Amino acid sequence: MADATLQHDTVQHGVPGAYEAPLFGAYSKKVGMWLFLASDSLTFGALLFAFSYNRLYTIPWPTPFHAESIANATIMTACLLSSSLTMVMAVFAAQRGDRAWTRNWLLATMVFGTAFIVLHGMEWSKLIGEGLTIPGFPKPPSAATGELADISKNVPQFPATFFGLTAMHMLHVTIGVIYLGVVAFRKWFLPILGVLWIAGYLLIPADNVFHYGIHALLLGLIVGAVILYLKPKDYDAHDVEVSGLYWHFVDLVWMFIFPLVYLMSTKIQ
């Protein structure tokens, strides 16, 4: 197939009108992201169905969440909702071509996203410390007793669905923060990510599950590096908008996880 490589400098393809109007009327990248989100919503949907399925036949379902957990989760929700607003602002800034403010708003979005992850991580650690755990997690130094430990023993479905769903969502938020970081700072974000990964690995004690969970950052680092190597370009307004779609979707998923996992399991007074 050596003759298959024709030299052509003036390719006509870019000419508008050479193609039928796109059926969805949007640029390809946006359509692609929407299709991915359709698929991803089914991934999350299946998890939520698995959760509801387990919950329906597991009677009685434990309802252990006190005011503290609910307050924490509410703050997390507010973080995500606000991050969506800053994301919208970033898209606006990108569309007017204001690079500095695009970056600032993206940074604000990332800060809110990181706040969400940190709050969530702290809550996980607290719950695990109090005994809500699954067998595969590292054991805390002293075995906890109390209501949550009993739940883990008697209704393993509860911690399993709780950690499964929220871990999947947390992973998506993490990917989202890395995605936005790459869009905002491109290759300069990778060293930051690397430092965060190593620092997290060294600072989080080995009996905490995030000692291992932090490797998600390494994965993000590798994927980000590969993508930046393959497409070393400046990200434009379209890229910002597409990354925004992903970010809002992560927010959207939380709108279902929060009531189903937290609010439907609040302590009955």
Pick out residues in 132-171 that bind other proteins (CB under 8 A): 134-137, 154-157, 159-161, 164, 168
Which of 174, 243, 249, 261 lies at the binding interface for other proteins (CB under 8 A)?
249
Query: What's the burial of 129, exposed, middle or buried (CB within 10 Å: 0-12/13-18/19+)?
Result: middle
Binding segment (CB under 8 A) for other proteins, from list 51-59, 108-116, 141-149, 177-185: 51-59
Is 264 one of the binding residues for other proteins (CB under 8 A)? yes
- The answer to whether 74 and 263 are in contact (CB under 8 A) is no
Q: How many residues does the chain have?
A: 269
Which of 72, 104, 125, 266 lies at the binding interface for other proteins (CB under 8 A)?
266
Which of 64, 67, 141, 142 lies at the binding interface for other proteins (CB under 8 A)?
67
Minimum CB–partner distance for residue 40 and other proteins (Å): 6
Q: Which two tokens stand for residue 250?
A: 């992560």
**CB neighbourhood size of 184 (10 A):** 22
Size of the site for other proteins (CB under 8 A): 101
3-state secondary structure of 65: strand
Omega cis (within 30) before 205 = no
CB closer to other proteins, 156 vs 194 = 156
- The answer to whether 148 and 167 are in contact (CB under 8 A) is no
Binding segment (CB under 8 A) for other proteins, from list 44-52, 120-128, 172-180, 194-202: 44-52
